[in-house]
Structure 1
């Protein structure tokens, strides 16, 4: 971020805008970072989890009324998914995405099978009341399976009524789910059934805090036209008909679509601070029963959050990918993603793709940066005149002194507020990249130098302790390098900055040196691709400053231009006029207040 010489409003605006945004990001995304208390506890937890993998949960523990021997599993498989179903509840018991791997915390490699559902972390079914008021839940029923090709039919008999779940495996990570009943009207008079889904999302990525933050409810309504999400503790959409409801993670989502829609939908989510799960989700939505019978069509989707794939369904699934709202999302969809795809098609490493992206962005912004550095040089040339004004009106009314300073700027043809533009442009770019790097699935698992995954932090430097409040047990090399170049850039651009002329005014040099430290607190647990991008970006900034200073801008020519500007008749702009009028009005009000005080005396 370029800073001008002199203590003017654009510096204050630039600093506080960036500080508020970055500090806000830092606290929001660091709050929830919790890891194992000690390495020994982590080893113990992993041992217990390994034991669970080898010891299936007895069916009697799930449903005491069902004998373990009566519970079976059946499978469906294609090139994308390996699915297993349990005859208890006739529901999915395992969903493995075959083209992806999950991160293994014990080996620091992404080499584990990727299960979205496994070991009872998902449970769903339909519940309704019989005529005596007793709740019947299909999760408690035992079904008989029949497999035909890519389809499996589960049938259960309850007091003479038949309930059938028919699953059919489809391409593109889809599973059709047809629910039919026969004779149910003799048991119930309900006009609706509750679909209840409990789901604990698994930790699949390296950065637990980052993945936990990105895990939330996602849903569409208004005939697929509207989309919303909920990362809070509760979901309440009783007035909308949801076309689909899903639980999104950082790179994957589990979604169920109802052809008739879910009504009276409610849900809640609870954080899980440690272990193999991140959050526990519960959803309850109603589906209609016609004449006491259920005949509903659903589709399960177990989606990698790949933008072309999501758009191909034409169900508003692409909104699940959190690329940012409005202009931010458009920048990612139509600029950063196509640019990444273009450069990566050349067959170069992902880190060098990011390097080329950084250079292209800098080229696009170069005219603005040139104007900013030119403004900085002009401010440096007129600095002696500003100091003269400050000395002349040292004991005068501050408003009068500010007016005189503005007159110096105006006569020299310097718009001191123009320096805000590059800072303001950096905000949407930063936020777009902040959304891009940790959510772009093409970067997932891509290594670069010592970084194993550019969508997660690098932790080559491991600490023997955790840093209080933040919970870190590592230092990111890219974050440290990025902080260093930002500090160098800050020193270069604030070397001639004026010290505050009034008591109580902040020392901008000190504040600007704090900025890189603030940035490090955010980057240390952020995606390493983002740190690498900003390291390259600020390194290029330093080169640009040196080139402009020593080869492009000539301060003698700038001084001559300023003198020529002073000789020209000045046309006051609307903004400058408004500022002058506001200052004059404030000065007049101040005089009136002083006169009133003198009269009272």
Structure 2
């Protein structure tokens, strides 16, 4: 028979460890249950506190606990806007522009899916901060008016929205008994907005997404595209956040003061930028009874002007003369041509032709000068060879003498370039901001305000992206051909270390490709047509207008004659060179004396 000797040492150790684990679990679950019970009691106490009326200012500030049952949605709609209002915060929770679509045929929403929230922020008598966007309102609809009411303590807050024509929503705020809750005489309007992309070109649209605001009784306008906004001293009449073609704006009849804002780009995804705005509104007798207006507008210049609130400045057509060119030349010209009923791309084509005709005297003079300089190139080379070892000033004087005898004014070639600089910048502003071009197709281009990507690939190449614009490529090729045709008259630098100007001119069209590749295809198309016309003009001048042999013979004949009287500019240039040459000799003499 086997004898039972009791528990051995290993069994005692195992039993002890098991007992400790068991006791640990008992204490853990006991503490967890106790904690859960405490949380339950705290929650019940909180609910009790919320329903107690002994401390209305403190208890009812937290009364707006949002539950699924507390969220109600009501709607208004007209031909232009479809609006949804939420009982949570009494806010516009959805704003859809009915006459437009986002890229890809999607509905165009400015507000939707909680990408925007706004409300009035107060400080109660106990120092606590609360915002109307966290309160629950009771909505009512009557015709084109939505009224939302809420109570906080003994105060009643009422928001009244009225949907009107021209993308306008009147927004009245009324309070009664607010003085029982607050006593500092002010409130802050706080607006948070994640702007959703609506266009094809993300980088281009992000560049045009920014703060916009007016002040000084609507007379002055400013914008901020990259940095924090800070206007502590101005009273803003309206504050808006614009995109490439659309804008959400809120106007305060009594103005916003102490305004500040923050913006941050969102690298990828559905949204482009994150905006936060905070502006103060003053209370009258500790009551907020003020009128505001929301505008959810397409950036059409005639529509913007019709409001008479300086909204047309939102459209970034350029400052001063640049903006005037767009407002009074290019936009009316495009509208006139497109009114003929032709496709947008052909309207741009004919607009280019008309602009070229207007500039034809200046452009003809430039191309004629270019052709003449090519003809006298042998004479310039002869001077360079003859005065190869001479003083640079002397060589320059002889070179200018050749130009003078040939009747070539070098400075005349600068005028067309100066004329084209503002035109280029104006068109750079025109094409990506012209609403009438948005979504207009031409040949293989679905949207003339965005790049074409018929040639595309999956990976992202630095500077180029994931596509190659055909219009940008065609424009680059034409500019390169034009450069080759005009580079023959460029004088190469004689001094060591100076850059080769021909090489730089060939590099320019290539770098231009990277710029145009992500820009509006309408801009590339315009410059393709423009430079193609330049090539035609050069060929016409060369083969039908200028006789190179005759010009060359005239130069040889002029050499035998007395030099023509210098022009004012040429005389000044010669005097400056002589002075510089004299100063250089004096400096060399001083250095020789020191030696």
CA RMSD for the aligned pairs? 1.7
In the alignment, the residues of structure 2 paired with residue 72 and residue 464 of structure 1 have an alpha-carbon distance, to the nearest angstrom, of: 44
Which residue of structure 2 aligns with residue 240 of structure 1?
234
- For residues 36-61 of structure 1, the C-alpha deviation after alignment (integer angstroms, 9 at most, x for no partner) is xxxxxxxxxxxxxxxxxxxxxxxxxx
Q: Is 1:587 paired with 2:581?
A: yes
In the alignment, the residues of structure 2 paired with residue 211 and residue 545 of structure 1 have an alpha-carbon distance, to the nearest angstrom, of: 38
Is residue 64–residue 134 contact of structure 2 (8 Å, CA) maintained in 1? no
> What are the within-5 Å matches in structure 2 for residues 327-366 of structure 1?
327-366=321-360
Which residue of structure 2 aligns with residue 521 of structure 1?
514
Query: How far off its partner does 1:464 sit?
Result: 3.4
Query: How far off its partner does 1:568 sit?
Result: 6.9
Which residue of structure 1 aligns with residue 205 of structure 2?
211
Q: Is 1:534 paired with 2:527?
A: yes
Q: Which of 466, 469, 473 is the equivalent residue of 1:476?
A: 469
Q: Is 1:89 paired with 2:83?
A: no
Query: How far off its partner does 1:251 sit?
Result: 0.1
Which residue of structure 2 aligns with residue 112 of structure 1?
106
> What are the within-5 Å matches in structure 2 for residues 448-597 of structure 1?
448-467=442-461, 469-470=462-463, 472-559=465-552, 562=555, 567=561, 570-597=564-591
Q: Which of 378, 383, 390 is the equivalent residue of 1:389?
A: 383
User: Given the two structures, how large is their TM-score scaled by the length of structure 2?
Assistant: 0.87
Query: How far off its partner does 1:600 sit?
Result: 1.4
Is residue 378–residue 559 contact of structure 1 (8 Å, CA) maintained in 2? no
Tell me the matched-pair count: 533
In the alignment, the residues of structure 2 paired with residue 382 and residue 131 of structure 1 have an alpha-carbon distance, to the nearest angstrom, of: 87
Larger displacement relative to structure 2 (157-166 or 580-589): 580-589
Q: Is 1:99 paired with 2:99?
A: yes
Which residue of structure 1 aligns with residue 67 of structure 2?
67
Is residue 413–residue 565 contact of structure 1 (8 Å, CA) maintained in 2? no
Which residue of structure 2 aligns with residue 189 of structure 1?
183
Query: How far off its partner does 1:436 sit?
Result: 0.6
- Structure 1: 5+ residue stretches without partners: 1-62, 105-110
In the alignment, the residues of structure 2 paired with residue 261 and residue 169 of structure 1 have an alpha-carbon distance, to the nearest angstrom, of: 21
Q: Is 1:418 paired with 2:389?
A: no
In the alignment, the residues of structure 1 paired with residue 221 and residue 548 of structure 2 have an alpha-carbon distance, to the nearest angstrom, of: 55
- Tell me the secondary structure at the aligned position of residue 438 of structure 1: helix
- 499 and 153 in structure 1: CA distance in 2 versus 1, 3 angstrom threshold: same
Is residue 343–residue 353 contact of structure 1 (8 Å, CA) maintained in 2? yes
- For residues 203-241 of structure 1, the C-alpha deviation after alignment (integer angstroms, 9 at most, x for no partner) is 100000000000000000010000010012200111111
- Tell me the secondary structure at the aligned position of residue 455 of structure 1: coil
> What are the within-5 Å matches in structure 2 for residues 427-466 of structure 1?
427-466=421-460
In the alignment, the residues of structure 1 paired with residue 413 and residue 139 of structure 2 have an alpha-carbon distance, to the nearest angstrom, of: 70
In the alignment, the residues of structure 2 paired with residue 343 and residue 559 of structure 1 have an alpha-carbon distance, to the nearest angstrom, of: 44
In the alignment, the residues of structure 1 paired with residue 368 and residue 431 of structure 2 have an alpha-carbon distance, to the nearest angstrom, of: 33
In the alignment, the residues of structure 1 paired with residue 394 and residue 266 of structure 2 have an alpha-carbon distance, to the nearest angstrom, of: 59
Query: How far off its partner does 1:430 sit?
Result: 1.0
In the alignment, the residues of structure 1 paired with residue 178 and residue 296 of structure 2 have an alpha-carbon distance, to the nearest angstrom, of: 31
Is residue 437–residue 443 contact of structure 1 (8 Å, CA) maintained in 2? yes
- Tell me the secondary structure at the aligned position of residue 446 of structure 1: coil
Is residue 461–residue 476 contact of structure 1 (8 Å, CA) maintained in 2? yes
User: Given the two structures, how large is their TM-score scaled by the length of structure 1?
Assistant: 0.86
- 555 and 248 in structure 1: CA distance in 2 versus 1, 3 angstrom threshold: same
In the alignment, the residues of structure 1 paired with residue 406 and residue 417 of structure 2 have an alpha-carbon distance, to the nearest angstrom, of: 23
- Tell me the secondary structure at the aligned position of residue 199 of structure 2: coil
In the alignment, the residues of structure 1 paired with residue 586 and residue 232 of structure 2 have an alpha-carbon distance, to the nearest angstrom, of: 58
- Tell me the secondary structure at the aligned position of residue 591 of structure 1: helix
In the alignment, the residues of structure 2 paired with residue 568 and residue 166 of structure 1 have an alpha-carbon distance, to the nearest angstrom, of: 88
- Tell me the secondary structure at the aligned position of residue 356 of structure 1: helix
Which residue of structure 2 aligns with residue 404 of structure 1?
398
> What are the within-5 Å matches in structure 2 for residues 109-148 of structure 1?
111-148=105-142
- Structure 2: 5+ residue stretches without partners: 1-62
- For residues 224-261 of structure 1, the C-alpha deviation after alignment (integer angstroms, 9 at most, x for no partner) is 00001001220011111100000010000000000011
In the alignment, the residues of structure 2 paired with residue 377 and residue 348 of structure 1 have an alpha-carbon distance, to the nearest angstrom, of: 37
In the alignment, the residues of structure 2 paired with residue 320 and residue 80 of structure 1 have an alpha-carbon distance, to the nearest angstrom, of: 20
Query: How far off its partner does 1:462 sit?
Result: 1.1
In the alignment, the residues of structure 1 paired with residue 137 and residue 201 of structure 2 have an alpha-carbon distance, to the nearest angstrom, of: 39
Which residue of structure 1 aligns with residue 215 of structure 2?
221
Is residue 64–residue 135 contact of structure 2 (8 Å, CA) maintained in 1? no
In the alignment, the residues of structure 2 paired with residue 533 and residue 514 of structure 1 have an alpha-carbon distance, to the nearest angstrom, of: 21
- Tell me the secondary structure at the aligned position of residue 432 of structure 2: coil
- 579 and 164 in structure 1: CA distance in 2 versus 1, 3 angstrom threshold: same
- Tell me the secondary structure at the aligned position of residue 513 of structure 1: helix
- For residues 453-479 of structure 1, the C-alpha deviation after alignment (integer angstroms, 9 at most, x for no partner) is 000000001123221x32611111111
- State the structure with bigger RCO (CA 8 A, min sep 6), 1 or 2: 1
- For residues 395-414 of structure 1, the C-alpha deviation after alignment (integer angstroms, 9 at most, x for no partner) is 11112211221222223322
- For residues 23-48 of structure 1, the C-alpha deviation after alignment (integer angstroms, 9 at most, x for no partner) is xxxxxxxxxxxxxxxxxxxxxxxxxx
Q: Which has the larger radius of gyration?
A: 2
Query: How far off its partner does 1:495 sit?
Result: 3.4
